[in-house]
Amino acid sequence: MSIPQAGGGPIERFEQLAEYLEAGCKPRADWRVGTEHEKFGYCKDTLLPLPYDGPRSIRAMLEGLRDRFGWAPVEERGRIIGLVKGQANVSLEPGGQLELSGAPLETIHQTCDEVNAHLREVKAVADGIGAGFIGLGAAPIWTHEQMPMMPKGRYELMTRYMGQVGTTGTQMMYRTCTVQVNLDFASEADMVQKLRVALALQPVATALFANSPFFEGRPNGFKSWRSRIWRDLDPARTGMLPFVFEDGMGFQRYVDYALDVPMYFVYRDGRYIDALGQSFRDFLAGRLPALPGEKPTLSDWADHLTTIFPEARIKRFMEMRGADGGPWRRLCALPAFWVGLLYDQGALDAAWDLVRDWSAEKREKLRVAASVNALQAEVEGTRMQDLAREALRIAEAGLKARARPGAGGLVPDETHFLNILQESVATGKVPADELLEKYHGEWQGDLTRIYAEYSY
């Protein structure tokens, strides 16, 4: 979840809303890669989630990272709830999931180095307090009642609202983890083409990264339970955004959509003011019940954009949101997959050719099928394994054309970060398949073994 945004001053013209998004346009030379990933912390002796307070806790983790590795604290109401270093930050999800929001970097080599450095720091602090961290799409055993709530005002409001608009919102908040990548666009037309490809192929990412086959101690019938949860969360702010594929799509059309998403809050003077279900359109007119007579700033608009959760979304950059959290190799593979598809024009055109004739119904069916069967899914004659193979072929060509070397020039490009995904396509197996095989085989139904074998 995002921290409060710094978007700018008063909104005096309606056009500023679209102009805010358009200001994210960058020339190709300035395009960057930002990787975010979440992970579950737990006590090694009890295997229960880390509480916020205590000697083995989220607070102890944040303070340890602050004191040992030079992160600056972020506080809310006098309590540490995040960290900042340069352009990167560490934040908390509602149930104590620890998230790294990486800096915008030039290459996947750099972003993978950043991920690895972060995981080393987390392990060093966690080992010292008897804690562990694991990358999965959903908490495999813990119940809702066992989950702590982090001391963030945003989450208090969201928790209250989730039960009013869907059935799985609090499951998403407290018991899921994702990995995502943030990418840039050059122009409105470039944004539209990238967003269309990103939404259409998000089910492929869901399939390749599916890593949540367990929930509350047993198999749940899905390869990605995290993806399943998102379908019944809040239809006003989730999904595959069919309007993106219609004529007239652009920044203003996305603004129109975002304005119709009910608000969560307004952030003022370190506090989250309850605006649950209220309208940003009313806010623009000075008629917001939460702040009567007051009009929004661009920072308020930036905050509102962080409360919209489709499978891919735009702010001043684009976020790919369809993948489960997972093992470290896949944390580096996700940016490679999307950079390969979207940052080379030839690859982007090929990816669009692959999906341009699909209907909204097919895109949604692929999304559902990916959550159930991952690479074994099939929709309207399209086999997910074949689709993933073709998407990876395009991504690999895109990374080769990008030709960004690493390891001091010893590695010619970024294609090796796709290797783990190529293995999945070759075998038809993703992390969820491996976990299920172990559960039904050598683990003999003892799901507690997942912690020792799959923690970072």
Query: Where are the chain's structural domains?
Result: 34-236+318-454
Q: How many CB atoms lie within 10 A of CB 3?
A: 19
pLDDT score, position 8: 78
Q: Count of CB atoms within 10 A of residue 451's CB?
A: 18
Count, residues in the chain: 456
Averaged pLDDT of the chain: 97
Whole-number pLDDT of residue 402: 97
Secondary structure, 3-state, 369-383: HHHHHHHHCEECCEE
The pLDDT, as a whole number, for residue 270 is 87
| Largest distance between two CA atoms of the chain | 64
User: Is the separation of the CB atoms in 74 and 80 below 8 Å?
Assistant: yes
CA angle 179, 182, 186 (to 5 degrees): 160
Nearest C-alpha neighbor of 158 from the set 231, 103, 94 = 94
| Ranges of the chain whose pLDDT falls below 50 | none
What is the number of alpha carbons within 13 Å of residue 96 lying toward its C-beta?
28
CA–CA distance, 429 with 67 (Å, rounded to integer): 41
Task: Report the distance separating Cα 314 and Cα 317, nearest Å.
Answer: 6
Task: Give the 3-state secondary structure of 101-127.
Answer: ECCCECCHHHHHHHHHHHHHHHHHHHH
Q: Which residue matches tokens 């939404």?
A: 199
Give the pLDDT of residue 200: 98
Q: Which CATH number fits domain 34-236+318-454: 3.30.590.20, 3.30.465.10, 3.40.50.720, 3.40.190.10?
A: 3.30.590.20
Tens digits of per-residue pLDDT, 84-109? 999 999 999 999 999 999 999 999 99
| The token pair that represents 190 in the structure block | 């470039």
Collapsing DSSP to helix, strand or coil, 34 comes out as strand
Q: With CA atoms as reference, report the closest residue to 200 among 353, 389, 418, 396.
A: 353
Give me 421's structure tokens: 């995904």
